[in-house]
Structure 1
Amino acid sequence: MSARIYQRPKNAMQSGKALLDQWILEFAPAEAKKADPLMGWAGSGDTQQQVVLRFPSVEEAKTYAERHGIDAEIHHTPPRRLKIQAYADNFR
């Protein structure tokens, strides 16, 4: 069973930073999704894809994965670089 641990990225459409400090553990899909013949919806029999665990720190998520025998890959969030720009720069 493999999983990935990552920090939720900031939504580009909103300026809020709520829930960005949480670390998420998601399981990798065990089987491919297939279309349902009646409705056409995509689905699979893999119930692990529905499980999303949230942790306050990366250490707690890593400890949980090790304790339960989960091969977890940690994806660190790249640092944010702000481009500070003044309104007067538009007229140079």
Structure 2
Amino acid sequence: MAARIYQIQKNALQSGKALTRKWVLEHVPTEAKKPDPLTGWAGSGDTEQQVKLTFPSEEAARAYADRRGIAYTVLPTAPKTLKIQAYADNFR
């Protein structure tokens, strides 16, 4: 049983920074999804991949994983890059 710990990134359609300070612990799928023969929906027997736990900090997520004996990897947060341009640049 392995998990990923990462910080939620801002959505491209989101202007504010709401919910971007939270950290998520998400289990890595252990079994591939396969289509159901009757409905055609994708599914698997692995129920842990349906669970996403949120934490206020990275330390809290690590402590939870250590208490439960879950092997984890922490994904680094991508650096925020701003493309600063003036409105007049649209008309060059």
**Shared fold, TM over 0.5:** yes
- Aligned residue type for 1:70: I
Q: Which amino acid aligns with 1:17?
A: K
Aligned to 1:89: 89
Instruction: List runs of 5+ in structure 2 lacking aligned partners.
Output: none
The equivalent residue for 2:74 is 74
Question: Cα RMSD (Å) of the superposition?
Answer: 1.1
Are 1:47 and 2:47 counterparts? yes
Amino acid at match of 1:43: G
Q: State the partner residue of 1:20.
A: 20
| Number of residue-to-residue matches in the alignment | 92
Aligned residue identity for 1:57: S
Identity level (%) = 66
Gaps of at least 5 residues in structure 1 are none
- Runs of 4+ in structure 1 deviating by more than 4 angstroms, as ranges, are none
Question: Who is 1:38 aligned against?
Answer: 38
